[in-house]
Structures are given as structure tokens and as C-alpha cells.
Structure 1
């Protein structure tokens, strides 16, 4: 099951990177977006491959933090900041 989920996480992450490299071209936070996305994928890999509860918890918290960062990526809009805070509190 871990191998299947690892394949899904890395496969979908690869597709997101391919699309985002075209879509985000010329954006102000281009490198910041990819740093957040890579951290999100790494946290998902830690979560999927965790063999104890502490490591699983760290992966889960990493996913929550990265969700907050990605949802609030366009932080100049107050709605995005509020949605990011809501996601952070829930996860």
C-alpha cells in the first residue's frame, strides 16, 4: 500500500510541477511556489512512508504547514490569508 501511495504522490506531484512550470512562468513568487510545493511533496512522502507514529505526526504537520503556505500564496488578498488561516487551524 505504501508503494502505491508513494507512486500516486510522486506522480501527481510531477504532473503539478509540469503544469505549474508553464502556468506560473513570469509570476513574482515563482521560486517560492516551487519551494512550497517541493516541501509539500516531501511531507507527503514522509507521511506515506512513516513506520512509527512520531514520524507520521511530523509528516502530517508538514502537510498542514505546506497547505497553509500554498493556500495563502497570494497573501496580498485578505480572502486568501483568511482561508489559509482556516486551513491551518483545521489541520
Structure 2
């Protein structure tokens, strides 16, 4: 579930960005909004599990550098601060995606640029997730 919070916006962006011509504007709208809303619901569940119970979850994806004295792993850390910040970020992002269906419907070039816009908005919500979720060593190194 925790990795799905990170991967779903990426999958929705890939689907609407690369396969936008095949699925059309309506398909891109449905896929991106579904991915963001599902991610928001998963973040709410994570908030109840991690935030209210105060039990942090660490997921180690793989070891990046594994030397004798230097061990750097690539992983994600969900603590109470992280999941409490996921809620407003993802709620606002999902509201923007749903609202953009209405204001993009009158765009005369919506058939061409709509797929690009929906594929471009979803990674912007994922950028905030990449800043909030990495484990402690990456937060310290990357700022």
C-alpha cells in the first residue's frame, strides 16, 4: 500500500503521457483522476495507520552503495509528519485534477493538448511525494 502511494501518480502520468493518443482525452482524464484519488484514499488510510497510532513504517527498496564502512540504502520512511503532509498535498492535487476537467472542456485545442496537460500535472503532484517520503539519509543528503 505504501509503495502504491508513490507509484500510482507515476503510472497515471505514464499512461496519459505516452498512451494519450490511444486512450484519448477522456481516457487520460479518467486515468489521472483515478490515480490521484486512489493515492489520496491510500494516504488517508496510511494516516490512520501511521499518524494516529504513531508507528512509523520504513521500506527499504534496495541498497544503493554497499561498502565496508559506507552503506547507503534507497528506501522510504512514513512517519506521522510525512503522512500528515500527504493529506493536504494529495487532496489539493486531486481537487485540481477534477476541476481541470471542467475548465479544459472548452479548450478548442483540448483534443491535442489535453493529454499532454493531464500527463504533465500528475508528475507535479509526485514531485512533492518524492520530497516528503524518502528515508532519513536521503533527506539529509538531498535537502
Q: TM-score, normalised by structure 1?
A: 0.52
RMSD: 3.8
Q: Which structure has the highest helix share of the two?
A: 1
Which has more radius of gyration? Answer: 2
Residues 36, 66 of structure 1: 8 Å contact kept: yes
Residues 29-79 of structure 1, C-alpha deviation per residue, up to 9 Å, x if partnerless? 444212222344436x75xx47497xx78x94x656543321111478241
Relative distance call for 1:64 and 1:13 in structure 2 (3 A) is: closer
Q: TM-score, normalised by structure 2?
A: 0.38
Matched, 1:2 2:25: yes
**How many equivalent pairs are there?**
78
Matched, 1:38 2:97: no
Flag structure 2 segments of 5+ consecutive residues without an equivalent: 1-23, 52-79
- In 2, the alpha carbon distance for the partners of 1:68 and 1:21 equals 19
Residues 43, 83 of structure 2: 8 Å contact kept: no
- In 1, the alpha carbon distance for the partners of 2:39 and 2:123 equals 18
Bigger relative contact order, structure 1 or 2 (CA pairs below 8 A, ≥6 apart): 2
Q: 2:136 aligns with which of 67, 77, 83?
A: 77
- After the TM superposition, which parts of structure 1 deviate over 4 Å for at least 4 consecutive aligned residues? 49-53, 62-65
Residues 40, 67 of structure 1: 8 Å contact kept: no
